[in-house]
């Protein structure tokens, strides 16, 4: 890449017929309908100084997806969230899950779990049910499945493509959990910094911040 482009960790490539890059509701299904694990590109290179997920400062994995052309993939048997959760729980101890874009060829299944083993091991166990999914994303229990805005932020910030992306039997697993020694991560994983409700109330009282509960919920301020 040239200049700041060299810091890019994840890139998705679409063709000229794709919806507007600002129209997420149309663009995401467009990409998922062209998703194929064979078109995932994994490399490594320079990363931003603030990237905490890579095992080494300023250098780590990068991922790309070629979604320019339609692809032939097997049709999935999509289950309701409750049924899929019940099925998965027979193999892995999960807290909850939610499927996003179920109308597409490759819904994104986000899973909350209290990690007891390496995520790749959990992913391998769930491959028994691969006819029901193509993409699994594993997250820690403090995440909120009803807030996809922050979920996306957490996923892209918490992964190193070379370490945390698993491709097996034409299925994709993504480990977006916090990392530690079990994953060979020897740096200090940053803790989440939350703002207390009293600080927000004080800012509102001083007319510095608007009292906007929707905004606070969207960004999970407290």
Start-to-end CA distance of the chain, whole Å, equals: 38
Nearest CA to 51 out of 169, 187, 218 is that of: 187
Helix or strand holding residue 100 (H, E): strand 96-100
Domains within the chain, CATH numbers bracketed: 3-66 (3.40.1670.10), 81-183 (3.40.1670.10), 194-222 (no CATH)
What pLDDT is attached to residue 193? 76
Helix or strand holding residue 166 (H, E): strand 165-168
Alpha carbon 132 to its chain centroid, in Å, reads 19
Q: How far apart are CA 179 and CA 51, in angstroms?
A: 13
What pLDDT is attached to residue 2? 65
Contact (Cβ atoms closer than 8 angstroms) between residue 134 and residue 31: no
Q: Output the CA–CA distances (angstroms, integers) from residue 210 to 106, 184, 202, 214, in the order listed.
A: 39, 43, 11, 11
Nearest CA to 216 out of 198, 193, 200, 192 is that of: 200
Q: Mean of the per-residue pLDDT values for the chain?
A: 94
Q: How confident is the model at residue 192 (pLDDT cuts 50, 70, 90)?
A: confident
Helix, coil or strand: residue 84 = helix
Q: Average pLDDT in the 83-97 region?
A: 97
pLDDT digits (tens, 9 = 90+) for 2-38: 678 889 999 999 999 999 999 999 999 999 999 999 9
pLDDT digits (tens, 9 = 90+) for 45-69: 999 988 999 999 899 999 999 999 9
pLDDT digits (tens, 9 = 90+) for 146-189: 999 999 999 999 999 999 999 999 999 999 999 999 999 999 99
Contact (Cβ atoms closer than 8 angstroms) between residue 54 and residue 162: no
């Amino acid at each position: 890449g040239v200049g700041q482009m060299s810091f890019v960790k994840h890139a998705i490539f679409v063709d000229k017929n794709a919806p507007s890059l600002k129209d997420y509701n149309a663009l995401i299904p467009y990409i998922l309908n062209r998703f194929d694990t064979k078109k995932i590109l994994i490399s490594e290179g320079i990363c931003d100084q603030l990237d905490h997920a890579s095992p080494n400062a300023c250098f780590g994995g990068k991922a790309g997806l070629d979604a320019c052309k339609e692809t032939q993939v097997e049709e999935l048997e999509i289950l309701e969230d409750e049924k899929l959760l019940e099925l998965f729980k027979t193999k892995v101890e999960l807290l909850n899950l939610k499927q996003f874009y179920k109308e597409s060829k490759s819904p994104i299944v986000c899973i909350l779990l209290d990690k007891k083993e390496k995520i790749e091991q959990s992913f391998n166990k769930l491959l028994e049910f691969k006819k029901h999914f193509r993409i699994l994303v594993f997250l820690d229990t403090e995440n909120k499945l009803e807030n996809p805005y922050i979920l996306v932020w957490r996923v892209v910030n918490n992964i190193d493509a070379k370490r945390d992306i698993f491709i097996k039997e034409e299925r994709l697993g993504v480990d977006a959990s916090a990392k530690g020694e079990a994953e060979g991560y020897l740096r200090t994983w940053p803790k989440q910094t939350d703002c207390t409700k009293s600080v927000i109330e004080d800012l509102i009282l001083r007319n510095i911040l608007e009292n906007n509960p929707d905004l606070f919920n969207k960004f999970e301020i407290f």
